[in-house]
Amino acid sequence: MARLLPTILLACAMVLGLRSLAFVTPPATSGLRGATAVDQEQTLAPSASASAALGGAVVGLVASAPAAHAAMLLDEIIPYAGATSFCIMWGIVLGFVLLRLQEAFPE
């Protein structure tokens, strides 16, 4: 199911994207040279901008690479955890050995 999810998301984005047939709206020719940014925002079609946002989100999810630190578990974390656990256990064993030696040879 995890491998099928990106394909389903991509198919949904393509179906929704075919409604507007373009991610970018064509430039307006109504003389917007002196218009402000607020006026230009109002001329954009809401379905095209929503389609572009959805398409960008789906492409980001589908084309994402695996995390760079995914291999750290086997390469670094488990060996260091094993070495640390071994050292702690060996220290406990040596501590008990020293206690027994102290009891065996009192001063």
What is the average pLDDT score of the chain? Answer: 75
**43, 32 contact by CB (below 8 A):** yes
In sequence order, what are the residues at sequence separation of 6 or more whose Cβ sits closer than 8 angstroms to the Cβ of residue 13? 54, 55, 58, 59
pLDDT of residue 59: 76
Going by pLDDT thresholds of 50, 70 and 90, the confidence category of residue 93 is: very high
- Tens-place pLDDT, residues 46-86: 556 777 777 777 777 777 666 666 778 888 899 999 999 99
Instruction: Give the per-residue pLDDT at 94.
Output: 97
pLDDT at 95: 96
pLDDT winner (highest mean) among 1-10, 12-21, 69-78: 69-78
The pTM assigned to this predicted structure is 0.37
Rg from Cα positions in the chain: 32
